[in-house]
Structure 1
Amino acid sequence: MPQLIVNAKNTEKRIAVIENKQLIDFELFRPSEKAQVGHIYLAQIEKIDKKIDAAFVNLGQEKGFLHLKDLPASFVNTQGARLLVQVNRMGTKTKLPLVTGIIELSNAYFVYMKGKSYISVSKRIEEQEKIKLTEIMSGFLEPEESIIIRSEAINLDKEALLHHFKELQQQFSNLVQLSLNKKQPGLIYASEDLFFEKVNRFIHDYQTDDVVSDVSFPFATKILRDDDIFETFQINTNITKLFQPVVHLKNGSSLYIEKTEAMWVIDVNSGRFSGDFEKERTVAKINLEAVPEILRQIRLRQISGFIVIDFIGGMSDKNHDKLLLEMENGVRAERITTQVAGFSKTGLMQLTRRKKEASLLEVTSETCPSCNGRGHVNSSLTLAYELERELRTHDLSSLNFILIITTESVLSAFLDLGVLDEAPIDWEIAEEAIPFYQIARVE
């Protein structure tokens, strides 16, 4: 059974899920004044763009992006109109927070939504119980109300079901009343226990009752007041690996994971894999064995959006179908909606994963000041050529002194060019790992 390890005593809080001593899910939580997933705002529509069927809304301290299809059917979407919205996806450096007019509230038994009309039942509930619960709850719903019935609801009688459903209805009514009393757009609801709500969602999704934490809270089954509970469970080493692009698999093959502006790319490599099979069988075996680790890495790194996987080529149509089926079966068990779009004409597998929060890479890193996010820096030889060009912009015959600060590798590359020997250059070596030069003084 999966085990939850919760590090909650520090400002940055972390949740890890381990099973058979392997890290299978991970999420960190950093307090922020920016719009967080689940926050509810009174918003005002500032602009409607019919070309993209969306609206830009004012949330008070920041703006939001709203798809018009995510509005209650009865709402009249006009510029200046006010409405309650909930954050579906946090904003990034290039995108506004994504909000919806379909407000979602939940407890242990139901997920309640205002703005749509339907009933859904947990897949863990058997068919006869589904029919029974659907008949009971359909009599409680008002227009534009929806519920998802959770598996815990099967233990409740009709009176208890109504009680817990009415709690959520009342919670929504209270939010509406708060919005009516608010003069300007702004935050209406932000749970102080947002992190522990995340923990509760993990408990529900992984169906576990083994929760180890370094602080006491209602869901914790064991308290370990260690200096670093993640170190105790040897989780820190696994987290460190999540920031490396290369993932080594036990069979000797590897994955290379890279983020581009538009998508995530995962490349499967045979590496040191060796087998006694013919090439086609070997390729199929490597690709099939990579699927579980690919899904694990997507989950751990919180990868979302458009994902392209470059499996090793050379498989038969039969094994292509087998690989596609393996991936489709794998994504069904994911907590976050993940869909397999199939193979492109060039043989690349395409996935889409619902985006709610920024990836682990986006949350924990910033653009490199040396390479500006390219992942590469100019070589010593490239800088040597640049230095030559820059020096030739000066009238060297009239100069008495030029001071250049540079790394030893750039100096060596420049001297190998065998140019500008007559220039009055004084070199100063800088002990830096990244190649660079600077013309510090010209006299």
Structure 2
Amino acid sequence: MKKEEYLRCVTDQIRCKKACPGIEKELEDHITDQAEMYLKKGMTEEQALKKAIAEMGDPVQVGVELDRIHRPQMSWGLVLLAGILGIISIVLQYGLKSHGYEMGFPQRQLLFTVVGFVLMLGIYYLDYSILGKYGKWMAGVFLALMGLTIPCRLYMGGAGTYLRLGNMAVSVPLLMYLYVPLFGAVLYSYRRKGYEALWKIAGWMILPVGLVVQSASLIHAALLALALLMMVTIAIQRSWYDISKKRTLFALWGGGTAFFITGSVIIFEKILKAYQQERIQAYFDQTGIYGYMQNQIAGVFRESKMLGKSISGMKILESNLAGFNGELIWMSLIACFGIIAGMIVAGLYVMLIWKIFRISGKQSNELGKMIGYGCGLVFAGQIVYSFLICLNIVPEMPVILPFLSYGGSGTLLSYILMGLVLSVYRYKNIPLESQKRKSLKIRISVE
């Protein structure tokens, strides 16, 4: 059998056609290496090639085995977690609605969740490796478009800055988190370059953070900056660049801290309006409005039951805490269904973050690893800050608890990022063009 016939017979057994080019190339390289070894032993070219092909084994059985190994995968655990949290969000809205006040929006949340879940499954089928080819261009276009929307934005008081798209208002700070996986592709494009790449990467970090600051959302700017900084740290630790790791990381975090302090002072004195400055000052004055809010949050815990609805706790939420359907949604869950229900949901979020980082850490594809880490960092930032608010550790800010908080922007963002994580997992055993190929070692015994 000729080499071309053998390769075609093998790849005919493989159902995932995206895997065929990479597998065919690896098999061909393996046959060539074996043939060269036999040539050195004195065989003719025809004899060497024939023996190398014969040693590969029956092409049909080889192809069947490779089809078993190199097939798309689905992380059913993550899908189940996303589904459970989505169902809880809908049930919670019905629970709030049944309180007798206009607190819940079950029909709209049902729509957002269903659309988001379908969107997640659609993204799962996309080949994320396209970001390896066009990621830098896509990131540039995304930032340009976000910059062009500045004159069209609507500021809705404490709710943040929005873009009006027909009848739907899209949160600009939440939309900017879609930049994080694009930034992973930007980092990937500068691999094997030296210190000059770091200056370019710094520009790719500062611009999106500045756009979020311009949208008057300091907490989202801080969380976005932290996620981008962590991604650069991971890339440096994985030796993506020809630089000194220790000195670069020291300069990166030292410079990042100095930039954060300087930027905070400038923003406070030059950019923030008077009422925004007063809100920040009020937080440090625990006898003011923030002290009152902390007492109200603590009151919800005191009034809540271990299991079941607390009418008094729900009244505190609706009357005194505007974020009951957003950053304080976990408090609403506890007031509506009990402390035990809240602890179960907290456990689900711990499991969610653990699975995302575990999936990302096990990827052999460097681009997929970075995209997965980026999505995980976005989830972790929102989840941790939301829980810290509910525990009275940090000031209340308009963040989201992914999948659970009410609203189209946050719900769709959560499912889009989850879809990207699932896409990374889908292709974990499939050689993609952006992946650095290693020689394939095949050990298939044919009886």
What is the TM-score normalised by the length of structure 2?
Answer: 0.19
Q: Which has the larger radius of gyration?
A: 1
What is the TM-score normalised by the length of structure 1?
Answer: 0.19
The higher relative CO (CA closer than 8 Å, separation ≥ 6) is in 2
* Higher normalized helix content (fraction of residues): 2
